[in-house]
Structure 1
Amino acid sequence: MTQQPFSRPGAIDLSALKRPAQPPASSAPGGTPSSSGVAHSAYSLDVTEENFQQVIESSMAAPVLLVFFSRTKMPESGHLAEDMATVSGEFEGRYLVGLVDIDAVPQIAQAMQIQSIPLVVAVVDGRPMPLFQDVVPIEELRTALTQVGQQLTTQGVTGRHQPRGVAPVEGEEEQVDPRYAAAQDALGEGDIDLAVAEYQKLVDANPADTEATAGLSMAKVLQRTQGADLNAARAAAAAAPDDVDAQTMVADLDLLGGHVEDAFARLVALVARTADADRTRARDHLLGLFAAVGNDDERVLAGRRNLASALF
C-alpha cells in the first residue's frame, strides 16, 4: 500500500457535472437500495452524478474517502469497496466513504482524472489527495485509516459526519462526536487554554483515546507558540544551540509549519548533546511531538529509532 502525507492541492473541478445536486440516498433501513451491490454502513453511500457535488461539499465538514472500483474490469477492486464500506462504520463518522463504480458513472472518473483502479482518494475541504492504490487486507485498511485520522487531527481536521439516514435540522451544522465538541469549540473560538483543558479531561478519562491524545499534544503546541515569531525563534536557537527552551520553540514552530522531520531531528540532536535534566526535558518534549503526529506515523517510527540511538 502506498500512503502519502496529506496535502491540499487544487479543488476538484466539477464543471463536467452540470446536473443539480440531490440528497444522497439513505442507507438506513428502508432507504434506497445500494446500486453498487455493496452493503453500506451508516457512513458510506454510492456516488452518482446527481449526488457527487453534495458528497464533495460534505468534505468541508469532515473528510470524504472516494473509492473508485470496477467489478467488470477488476473484480478485486469490488472487494476493496466492500471492505471500505465496512470499515467506515467503525470510525463513527470520522470519514464518509463514497463508492464510485466507474462502470456506472464514468463521467465522475473522467472529472477526477482517474487513470487506474482501485484508487482511494481522500477529500478534505473540497480538495483531493490520492491516498492509496491497492487491494489490501481489511486489517491494513483499519491501520491506514487510523494513521490518516491521526494526521488529520494534528492538522486541526476533527469534524465528523452525521450517520446516513439521520436528517439534519435545517440550518444546523454537521454533527461532530460529542466527546470532542467542547475542545473543538474552544479551538474554533481561539481559546487554546480551554481546548488544552478539555482534551486533558478526555485523556484522563481514557488514556487509550488516540485522537484525544493527539489533540491534546497539538493543542499544547499551539499553546506554547502563541505570539511566537519564527525568525526571532530561529535566531535565538542559533545563538544558543544547547538552550532547551530555544530549541523546543523552533521544533514546535517547525511542526506547525509541516516540517515534521526537521522538528524531530532538531530535538534528537539536542538530546544527543545534552545531559541530566536538560536531556530529560528535550526527550519528553520530543515524545509530546510524537504523540501530536501519531505514534504509527512512519516519521515518528523513524524519530523513535533516532531517539533511541541518541539516548543509548
Structure 2
Amino acid sequence: MQPRNMSMSGAVDLSAVKAAAEAKQKAEQARAQRAAQATGGQQPAGGAPAVQLVIDVDEAGFEQEVLQRSAEVPVVVDFWAEWCQPCKQLSPILERLAQEYAGRIVLAKIDIDANPVLPQQFGVQGIPAVFAVIAGQALPLFQGAAPEPQVRQVLDQLIAAAEQRFGITGLQVDPDQAAAAAAGQPGPPAPPENPTLAAAHAALDAGDLGGAVQAYRNVLADEPANEEAKLGLAQAQLLERVQAMDAERVRKDAADRPADVAAQLAVADLDLVGGHVEDAFGRLVATVQRTAGEERDSARLRLLELFEVVGPDDPRVSAARTALARVLF
C-alpha cells in the first residue's frame, strides 16, 4: 500500500447512497415525530452524548453517522466482514489510531454482509477496503491490510487535506478521555449537573413549558455561554409558541397574507416541529430578503432561534446561514 495524494480526483459519487439513506432517515424521523407529538411534542434537552470515535454504521444510519458527520470531521470508512482474516489484522490498527487521534478522525465500520448496498455504491472490489468521507465527498484510501506506520501516514495526509481544502479540523475531544478509551479505561467522571439546569430539563420533560423557559433563562443569567441551556431554551420557546396553534388556520393565514411577517414566522415554527427543516429555513430566509427594519430583524432573529433548536453542526443550518448571509449582505 502506498499513501495516496489527497486530491479529490478519485472521489466517489455518493448521491445514490445519500438519497437512499435520506429516505430511510426521513421515515425514522417521521416515526420519532409522531411519538414525540403523542407525548406532548417534547424532546429532552439533555447534554450531547459522549463523542464516539469508533462507530458501527448500517445503511439506515449512513446519512447521519457518515455524511452529516463528515462536515465537521474526516470519517474513515472501514469495509470489513467477520470471515475476512486481513480485516482482523487491519481493524485493530484503525481503531487504535482513531482513539489516539482524539477527534481528528472518526472511524466508521461497515460489515459488508449485513449492509450489501453500501460497498456496491462505493465500488468496493475486495476487503478490507478503506475510504474517507470529507464534507460529503468520498475518496478511496487503500485496500488490503497494511502496517501501522503506513496507515498512520495516510491518516496524517487525510487530516491535512481536510483542513487545507475544507477547513475541517475535527471534533473537540478531551485528550485524557481519548487516551483512557484507547487503553480501555473509563474516562474522568463528568462534573455534577447544574441543579437549575436539571430542573429546567425536568420541567421540559413534564410539559411545563413556561417553567422550563424561566429555568433555562435563570441558568443563562449566571452562565451566558451555557450551550445546553441555550438549546433547551430554544426548544421550550418553540414548543410554547406552537402548542396552542390551529395548524390549518395558521397555514391559511400565511398563504392569504404573504407579506404578514408574523404569519410567516408561525408557519416556520410549525414546519420545524413537523420535521420540515429546510422549508422552515427557506421561508424565513425569503422573509428576511423581502422585508426591512424591525420586520427584517424579527424574521432574522427567529431564524437564529431555530438554528439553535436544530443545532449548529447540522449541514442544513450551515446551508441556511450561507443563504441568510447572501440576502443580508
TM-score by length of 1: 0.52
User: 2:212·2:236 contact (CA, 8 Å) conserved in 1?
Assistant: yes
User: 1:71·1:77 contact (CA, 8 Å) conserved in 2?
Assistant: no
2:268 to 232, 246, 251: 251
The residue number in structure 1 matching 2:241 is 224
Partner amino acid for 2:171? R
Is 1:208 the counterpart of 2:237 in the alignment?
A: no
CA displacement at 1:184 relative to structure 2:
1.7
CA distance in 2, matches of 1:100, 1:265: 32
TM-score by length of 2: 0.50
The residue number in structure 2 matching 1:72 is 89
For residues 256-295 of structure 1, the aligned pairs below 5 Å read 256-295=273-312
More helix by share: 2
The residue number in structure 2 matching 1:190 is 207
CA distance in 2, matches of 1:77, 1:184: 38
Identity of aligned residues (%): 39
User: 2:54·2:98 contact (CA, 8 Å) conserved in 1?
Assistant: no
CA displacement at 1:110 relative to structure 2:
6.0
Structure 2 SS opposite 1:193: helix
Structure 1 SS opposite 2:275: coil
Cα distance 1:248–1:43, how it changes in 2: closer, same or farther (>3 A)?
A: closer
CA displacement at 1:230 relative to structure 2:
2.4
User: 2:53·2:98 contact (CA, 8 Å) conserved in 1?
Assistant: no
The residue number in structure 1 matching 2:63 is none
CA distance in 1, matches of 2:279, 2:54: 41
CA displacement at 1:164 relative to structure 2:
5.7
User: 1:43·1:164 contact (CA, 8 Å) conserved in 2?
Assistant: no
Partner amino acid for 2:279? D
User: 1:234·1:250 contact (CA, 8 Å) conserved in 2?
Assistant: yes
The residue number in structure 2 matching 1:51 is none
User: 1:77·1:118 contact (CA, 8 Å) conserved in 2?
Assistant: no
Partner amino acid for 2:244? G
Task: Identify the range of structure 1 (260-269 vs 296-305) with the bigger mean alpha-carbon deviation.
Answer: 296-305
Cα distance 1:198–1:306, how it changes in 2: closer, same or farther (>3 A)?
A: same
Cα distance 1:177–1:250, how it changes in 2: closer, same or farther (>3 A)?
A: farther
CA displacement at 1:251 relative to structure 2:
0.6
> Which structure exhibits the higher relative contact order, with contacts defined as CA atoms closer than 8 Å and separated by 6 or more residues?
2
* Cα displacement string for residues 136-178 of structure 1 (whole angstroms, at most 9, x for unaligned residues): 759844159xxxxxxxxxxxxxxxxxx9699xxxxxxxx9962
2:171 to 136, 139, 142: 142
Partner amino acid for 1:233? V
CA displacement at 1:284 relative to structure 2:
1.2
CA distance in 1, matches of 2:259, 2:215: 33
RMSD, aligned CA: 4.8
Cα distance 1:45–1:74, how it changes in 2: closer, same or farther (>3 A)?
A: closer
1:298 to 303, 306, 315: 315
* Cα displacement string for residues 118-146 of structure 1 (whole angstroms, at most 9, x for unaligned residues): 79xxxxxxxxxxxx9996759844159xx
- Could you tell me which runs of 5 or more consecutive residues in structure 2 were left unpaired when the two chains were aligned: 1-13, 29-49, 56-76, 81-86, 120-127, 132-137, 142-154, 161-167, 174-184
CA displacement at 1:204 relative to structure 2:
2.5
Partner amino acid for 2:266? M
Structure 2 SS opposite 1:79: helix
The residue number in structure 1 matching 2:253 is 236
Cα distance 1:284–1:44, how it changes in 2: closer, same or farther (>3 A)?
A: closer
CA displacement at 1:189 relative to structure 2:
0.9
Cα distance 1:101–1:291, how it changes in 2: closer, same or farther (>3 A)?
A: closer
CA displacement at 1:280 relative to structure 2:
1.4
User: 1:77·1:117 contact (CA, 8 Å) conserved in 2?
Assistant: no
The residue number in structure 2 matching 1:178 is 193
* Cα displacement string for residues 241-266 of structure 1 (whole angstroms, at most 9, x for unaligned residues): 12122111111111112211111110
Structure 1 SS opposite 2:89: coil
User: 2:54·2:95 contact (CA, 8 Å) conserved in 1?
Assistant: no
User: 2:53·2:99 contact (CA, 8 Å) conserved in 1?
Assistant: no
